[in-house]
Amino acid sequence: MRDDDDNIYEENDGLFKTWTGTLLFVGGFIGYLAALMILSQIPSLQWLMITLVGLLFFATGLFFLKMSKGSFFAPMIGILVGVVIMYLALSGKFFPNLSDAIGNKGIGTILTTIGLIFLVYPFAITEYYKARYKTSVVATVSRVDHHFSRADRHHAHTFRSVYEFTYSGREYEVMDKVYVSGRHPMTGDTRELLIDEDNPEHFFDIDRMKGRSITSYIVPVIIVGLGIYLIVA
């Protein structure tokens, strides 16, 4: 079946509109890495180097959070990792007593908690909507809206599905409120939706959670493993 999806082409925001902006970004990034390398060779400034590494994770997470248009799972991992790294560097430098009081076990507990939250979230949100929406319908994907950037018009960064279904003799067309990333359904595919009986336009695509890639759990597992190591080491 041909995928007659609607394509939404949008210009990139910020520096990437021009070659000059792109070159400035690349040059700035290379300079950033050079600064990290220099700072790593100065023992008294290594705390600053670690802080900048955390800032890089934090900024990258914010960047992809904006670009993903609503898919926040992976970007939030980068943001949280950045916050933890910056905390370790700054507390060790300016608040050593606090850092010593918390210790590796405290940091390990924080990392383990963060990792477990991201591991459990897909299952928890699914159970939440199963409890909230008791009615299940089979919907057809009428179209898929793609969000593209100017830099890459051949691969969709994110998508938003539009569904059609019939409930109590009435036809409905509903769509996701946000754009998400990952594998998208094709026009004409059927999906299982959980809907609110009183307002069928409120729904949850349960098949999306069923189709999550195993690779999406790799980073949270690594974070949990690191946290457990710090606790028991």
- pLDDT, residue 53, reads 86
In eight-state DSSP terms, residue 148 is E
CA-based radius of gyration for the chain: 22
Helices (H), the chain: 19-40, 46-67, 73-94, 96-132, 206-210, 218-232
Give φ, ψ of 136 to 5 degrees. -115, 135
pLDDT of residue 215: 66
CA distance linking residue 39 with residue 168, whole number of Å: 66
Q: Mean pLDDT across the stretch 51-72?
A: 73
Closest CA to 146 of 90, 196, 186: 186
What number of other Cβ atoms are within 10 A of residue 92's Cβ?
16
CA–CA distance, 195 with 25 (Å, rounded to integer): 45
Task: Read off the pLDDT of residues 27-61 as tens digits, 9 standing for 90 and up.
Answer: 888 888 888 889 888 888 888 988 998 898 888 87
> Which one has a higher pLDDT value, 129 or 138?
138
What does the mean pLDDT of the chain come to?
77
pLDDT for residue 68: 52
- If you write DSSP's letter for every residue of 9-25 in order, what string do you get? EEPPPGGGGSHHHHHHH
The reported pLDDT for the residue numbered 171 is: 94
Q: For residues 126 and 152, which has the higher predicted lDDT (pLDDT)?
A: 126
Q: What is the pTM of this model?
A: 0.54
138 has which bridge partners? 192
State the pLDDT confidence band at 181, using cuts at 50, 70 and 90.
Answer: low
- Mean pLDDT, residues 115-123: 82
Domain range 132-210, CATH class? mainly beta
Rounded CA separation 73/112 (Å): 16
Amino acid at 138: V
pLDDT tops 50 at residue 80? yes
Judge whether residue 148 has pLDDT over 80: no
pLDDT attached to residue 109: 84
The whole-number pLDDT of residue 213 equals: 65
Domain segments of the chain: what residues?
13-129+214-232, 132-210
Half-sphere exposure of 217 (CA within 13 A, CB side): 11
Burial class of residue 45 (count of CB atoms within 10 Å of its CB; 0-12, 13-18, 19+):
middle
Averaged pLDDT, 213-233: 78
Most confident range, picked from 69-73, 79-83, 93-97, 132-136: 132-136
